[in-house]
Amino acid sequence: MSDGLSFTKEKSDEYVKVSLVGEVDIYTSQDFKNMLYEVVDCEKMNLIIDCKQLNYIDSTGLGIFVGALKKVKQYDKKIVLTNLKDNIKKLFVITGLDKVFVIE
């Protein structure tokens, strides 16, 4: 029914890369939030979020990104979003979040 959401985590000396697969919506958002905040709080490193296989995100998911960014900044680190699909990048532009996040 739903794509659901899964993720993989890779760690290097300078950053943690989280790759998202599936959809972030109200059904998957709590798992997504738990995972992302745990990575931020445990690793305290720069975070790269690869969205190549992220097919859908809603305002709930965008809010979680914003929350994670606030946490990351507490550790003086940054979040970089990569490989956003056009439909997802459009939401960042509409909401002005493209100016808040580093998008590559």
Q: How far apart are CA 82 and CA 61, in angstroms?
A: 16
Among 37, 63, 67, 77, binds other proteins (CB under 8 A): 63
Is the separation of the CB atoms in 62 and 95 below 8 Å? yes
Q: How far apart are CA 95 and CA 75, in angstroms?
A: 25
102 binds other proteins (CB under 8 A): no
Of 8-16, 19-27, 41-49, 68-76: span binding other proteins (CB under 8 A) = 19-27
99 binds other proteins (CB under 8 A): no
Among 3, 31, 43, 98, binds other proteins (CB under 8 A): 3
Q: Which residues lie near other proteins (CB under 8 A)?
A: 1-3, 23, 25-27, 56, 58-60, 62-63, 86-87, 90-91, 94-95
